[in-house]
Structure 1
Amino acid sequence: MKSESTAIDMPESSSDAKGKAPIMAASSGAKGGYRRGIAIFDFVLRLGAIVTALAAAAVMGTSDESLPFFTQFFQFQASYDDIPTFQFFVIAMGIVAGYLVLSLPFSVVAIVRPHAGGPRLPLLILDTVALTLNTAAGAAAAAIVYLAHNGNSNTNWLAICNQYGNFCQKVSGAVVASMITAAIFVFLIVLSAFALRRH
């Protein structure tokens, strides 16, 4: 007589079933906290970019110097509005600063709702446009500042920074501030792209 073995299928214990949900919730919470950290860092970087962009526009817009020797008919003066490139720089950096201020609410939404990918894509696109404008203005102004410092003997353009030292110091500082703003934009774009990839 053959003995028959009986296999009984045991259902999964309730303790095992309950143990999976907290693990999944914990991993989801960790991802949310990670994304919220990225969003907070994005907000702080935007505040820093606003400061540097406004500083660049303000310093360039107030760059003006008159030489101490002048006559009744002639006065030697250097001002940013004498050079169209510097005028473009002031306008462009003002636009960049204005955009950064308008982008703050989107950055706040990303902090409040870290899982929402909606605000990220417009920020990524507009940050790239703003970076392009910022870089164009900064590079054009840097070329003029280089000529002001060194001149160009081939075209008989004289270096003016020996005479207009204060003016050259201000415009050089404005260009450096614009380049810092451009570097911050690069970080912002990388953060937005990374956050979108995580979604």
Structure 2
Amino acid sequence: MSTTIDVPESSSVAKGKAPLVAAPRDVKGGGYNKGIAIFDFILRLGAIIAALAAAATMGTSDETLPFFTQFFQFQASYDDLPTFQFFIIAMGIVAGYLVLSLPFSIVCIVRPHAVGPRVLLLILDTVALTLTTAAGGAAAAIVYLAHNGNSSTNWLAICNQFGDFCQKVSGSVVASFVTVVVLVFLVVLSGFALRRQ
């Protein structure tokens, strides 16, 4: 003796319609945001290299004029000027931040729709951009004075005597402005990515 229970078919299946299934999350723009995140990561690596190059070049800028005795020499070094000391500290902070931001950039690659990490990167990139611009601008003013002097204040141009020193500090200022340009691109990319959310 067997008992069977008849179960009526669902009305949607009986009429030939597909059963209702939860639609997958809309992934519109997922590839676009992932491409932005990968480009963001590559730009961060470039900014790290530029910031470290700026700090290292400034930190090794030192020249002593050879034609004086051992007890009486003219020397030019970055630590003679507080502006250059600030420059090295600021570029070190920016390089350190950029290294620490790499994991958040990787999260944005893995999860292109994640808003939290992208907003955090946007805010901190803006702070790093401000710090880099301040340090680069201040150092550029001193480098200008070193090259041209200022006759109204009797500041003499020293680059005629300290050529290697001026070449190094000028190169480090250029590297800092490369970092500024890359940080501007990072901020713009984060803005585009957030707009596509």
**TM-score, normalised to structure 2's length?**
0.87
Deviations 1:124-149 (A, max 9, x none): 11001010000000000000000000
1:53 is aligned to: 51
Post-superposition offset of 1:73: 2.7
The one-letter amino acid paired with 2:60 is T
| 1:9-28 matches, cutoff 5 A | 28=26
Post-superposition offset of 1:122: 0.7
The one-letter amino acid paired with 1:60 is M
Deviations 1:46-80 (A, max 9, x none): 00000000000000000001111112431111100
Equivalent-residue separation in structure 2 for 1:121 and 1:43 (angstroms): 15
Deviations 1:63-110 (A, max 9, x none): 001111112431111100011100000000000000000000000000
Please point out which of 186, 193, 196 is paired with 1:195: 193
Please say if 1:148 is aligned against 2:153: no
| 1:1-199 matches, cutoff 5 A | 28-29=26-27, 31-199=29-197
Equivalent-residue separation in structure 1 for 2:121 and 2:133 (angstroms): 18
Contact 2:108 2:114 in 1 (8 A): yes
Instruction: State the secondary structure of the residue aligned to 1:46.
Output: helix
Equivalent-residue separation in structure 2 for 1:122 and 1:57 (angstroms): 25
The one-letter amino acid paired with 1:186 is V
Post-superposition offset of 1:31: 1.4
The one-letter amino acid paired with 1:105 is P
Equivalent-residue separation in structure 1 for 2:150 and 2:170 (angstroms): 18
Given the superposition, is the C-alpha separation of residues 13 and 147 from structure 1 closer, same or farther in structure 2, using an over 3 Å criterion?
farther
Equivalent-residue separation in structure 2 for 1:186 and 1:86 (angstroms): 23
Deviations 1:8-50 (A, max 9, x none): xxxx9869x9xxx8xx98xx55511111000000000000000
Instruction: State the secondary structure of the residue aligned to 1:158.
Output: coil
The one-letter amino acid paired with 2:135 is A
Given the superposition, is the C-alpha separation of residues 13 and 198 from structure 1 closer, same or farther in structure 2, using an over 3 Å criterion?
farther
Across the aligned residues of Structure 1 and Structure 2, the Cα RMSD in angstroms comes to 1.9
Post-superposition offset of 1:194: 1.0
| Shift >3 Å, 4+ stretches | 12-15
Identity of aligned residues (%): 78
Instruction: State the secondary structure of the residue aligned to 1:37.
Output: helix
Contact 2:29 2:196 in 1 (8 A): no
